[in-house]
Amino acid sequence: MKKLAVVAFGGNALLRGDEAGTIEQQEKNAYDTCRKVIGLLKRDYNIIITHGNGPQVGNILLRNEAGYNTYKIPKMPIDICVADSQGGIGYMIERMMRNVLIEEKMRRNVVTLVTQVLVDINDPAFDDPSKPVGAYFLKEEADLLAKANKWVFKEDPRKRGWRRVVASPKPKDILNKKIIRDLAKKGNVVIAVGGGGVPVFRHRDKHLEAIEAVIDKDLASALLASDIGADAYFIVTDVPKAYINFRKPGEKALDRITLKEAKKYYDEGHFTAGSMGPKILAAMNFVENGGVEAIITEASQLEKDNCGTRIVSDKK
């Protein structure tokens, strides 16, 4: 029986470095990443691909502002923008994956699912918005926008301007997770939980309502992997392994570590919040909730049996 893996594409899967983000650049990057992910199919995995959407949803929000300011086109809320990005990015990944499968003479269907993710309306994150979205503004512009729209702005740590911030609540449940699992187990390549999913909450009468927030895609991907009983959770990033003392004296690449060791390094502050921290946290969540193995690595390493930093249960 084939193994089941969730593979989380990092932002560099579509947009790298200082690229402008043209469709040609994004399609080439998507093709290159899909070409490397084929290695998992050859290693007898069925796969579910998840992905980030930071630059893309930021551009959608910019188009929101430009359309409203120039033509008075009504602005769309963040949930619609996230859903838009899921469709666009999913389409790119799906088409590139189909092309690679044709070249490899492998017969697999590929399907993209716009995915909603349940959050708790009482999550403390809503009291402290922290996730930057959209463009940078001058302080005076940010103040006007905050007053007009009841938005919250914070200054960028690198002093590039002021950006709107929204809540980033913890994912509680992946809607349609059973469909995602069943499609993948039948050999279909499934693309889902894009950008962490569209955040929704449930009223007492069970009705669903969208909410202005974004969800961390690594945490949402880890939740999906746990809930569907995936054998492995791969986090694809731009480095082959995670490090302790990164770019400091005593720098060391991590190979196979236990959950206890990972927690120790995390608590010691070896993984920054804006970089490796969320990935290590998501990997620990997966293993802590019954996952066999979480792997953090670069896409070109996926064909190798012992690639990347591998986090396993303390019992292994």
Instruction: Return the pLDDT at 87.
Output: 97
Asked if 42 is an active-site residue, the reply is no
C-alpha gyration radius of the chain: 20
Asked if 131 is an active-site residue, the reply is yes
Q: Which of 196, 217, 285, 308 is catalytic?
A: 217
pTM over 0.75: yes
Percent of the chain with pLDDT over 70: 99
Instruction: Return the pLDDT at 316.
Output: 58
Mean local confidence (pLDDT), 258-273 = 95
Q: Does 126 or 303 have the greater pLDDT score?
A: 126
Domains of the chain: 3-118+171-312 (3.40.1160.10), 129-166 (no CATH)
**Whether the predicted pLDDT of 220 surpasses 70:** yes
Q: Which of 10, 177, 195, 279 is catalytic?
A: 279
**Whether the predicted pLDDT of 74 surpasses 80:** yes
Mean local confidence (pLDDT), 109-116 = 98
Sign (positive/negative) of CA torsion 302, 306, 308, 314? positive
Q: Does 191 or 62 have the greater pLDDT score?
A: 191
Question: What would the pLDDT profile of 144-157 be if each residue is shown by its tens digit?
Answer: 999 988 899 999 88
Asked if 245 is an active-site residue, the reply is no
**Whether the predicted pLDDT of 90 surpasses 70:** yes
Q: Which of 11, 21, 58, 161 is catalytic?
A: 11
Instruction: Return the pLDDT at 10.
Output: 83
Q: Which of 29, 54, 131, 134 is catalytic?
A: 131
Secondary structure (H, E, C), the chain: CCEEEEEEECHHHCCCCCCCCCHHHHHHHHHHHHHHHHHHHHCCEEEEEEECCHHHHHHHHHHHHHHHHHHCCCCCCHHHHHHHHHHHHHHHHHHHHHHHHHHCCCCCCEEECCCEEECCCCCHHHHCCCEEEEEEECHHHHHHHHHHHCCEEEECCCCCCEEEEEECCCCCEECCHHHHHHHHHCCCEEECCHHHCEEEEECCCCCEEECCECCCHHHHHHHHHHHCCCCEEEEEECCCCCEECCCCCCCEECCEEEHHHHHHHHHCCCCCCCCCHHHHHHHHHHHHCCCCEEEEEEHHHCCCCCCCEEEECCCC
**Whether the predicted pLDDT of 18 surpasses 90:** no
Q: Are 177 and 223 in contact (CB under 8 A)?
A: no
Question: What would the pLDDT profile of 45-72 be if each residue is shown by its tens digit?
Answer: 999 999 999 888 988 988 998 999 999 9
**Whether the predicted pLDDT of 120 surpasses 80:** yes
**Whether the predicted pLDDT of 187 surpasses 80:** yes
Question: What would the pLDDT profile of 23-36 be if each residue is shown by its tens digit?
Answer: 999 999 999 999 99
Q: Does 51 or 275 have the greater pLDDT score?
A: 51
Asked if 217 is an active-site residue, the reply is yes
Asked if 11 is an active-site residue, the reply is yes
Q: Which of 12, 99, 176, 188 is catalytic?
A: 12
